[in-house]
């Protein structure tokens, strides 16, 4: 399975990325070592969208806090970059894709990342992973 993460990325050219206690949605809690990850520099944090692709080298689920009824699963991950994006893809390019049921890769990304704009790790379909590979 492939994943995408939208988070603060200060140096997209870094060889390693470490993200602590990241919120997960849409299957993101299943991320594991060896998985492919597409890294989006969060526009909420001054980023520009898709910046890199990498492989997970470690993933650790964060224990839930006892006594809190509703919690979003969180995961800490370390990712080794293997490619830099050569074309832009972010909120500006995806915001017009709002037919949530059309099955298109861009719409899937817009729905998962920008309908609720918080930073997060999400699971993505094979079709969307193939679409994203075209940006490298």
Reported as a single tens digit per residue, the pLDDT across 22-60 is: 999 999 999 999 999 999 999 988 999 999 999 999 999
Separation in Å, CA 59 to CA 77, 121, 135:
4, 12, 25
Number of domains in the chain: 1
C-alpha–C-alpha distance, residues 29 and 11, integer Å: 25
Give 112's Cβ-side CA count (13 Å radius). Answer: 25
pLDDT of residue 66: 83
Comparing C-alpha atoms, which of 84, 58, 80, 62 is closest to residue 72? 62
What CATH number should be reported for the domain holding residue 128?
A: 3.10.590
The residue range of the domain holding 23 is: 2-133
Please write the tens of the pLDDT for every residue from 68-98: 888 899 999 999 999 999 999 999 999 999 9
C-alpha–C-alpha distance, residues 132 and 134, integer Å: 5
């Amino acid at each position: 399975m492939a994943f995408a993460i939208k988070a603060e990325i200060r140096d997209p050219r870094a060889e390693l990325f470490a993200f602590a206690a990241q919120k997960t949605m849409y299957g993101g809690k299943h991320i594991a070592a060896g998985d492919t990850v597409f890294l989006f520099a969060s526009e909420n944090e001054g980023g520009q969208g898709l910046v890199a692709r990498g492989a997970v080298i470690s993933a650790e689920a964060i224990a839930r806090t006892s006594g809190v009824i509703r919690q979003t699963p969180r995961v800490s991950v370390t990712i080794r970059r293997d490619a830099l994006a050569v074309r832009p893809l972010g909120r500006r390019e995806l915001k017009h894709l709002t037919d949530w049921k059309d099955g298109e890769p861009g719409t899937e990304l817009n729905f998962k990342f920008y309908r609720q704009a918080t930073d997060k790790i999400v699971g993505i379909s094979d079709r969307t992973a193939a679409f994203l590979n075209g940006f490298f």
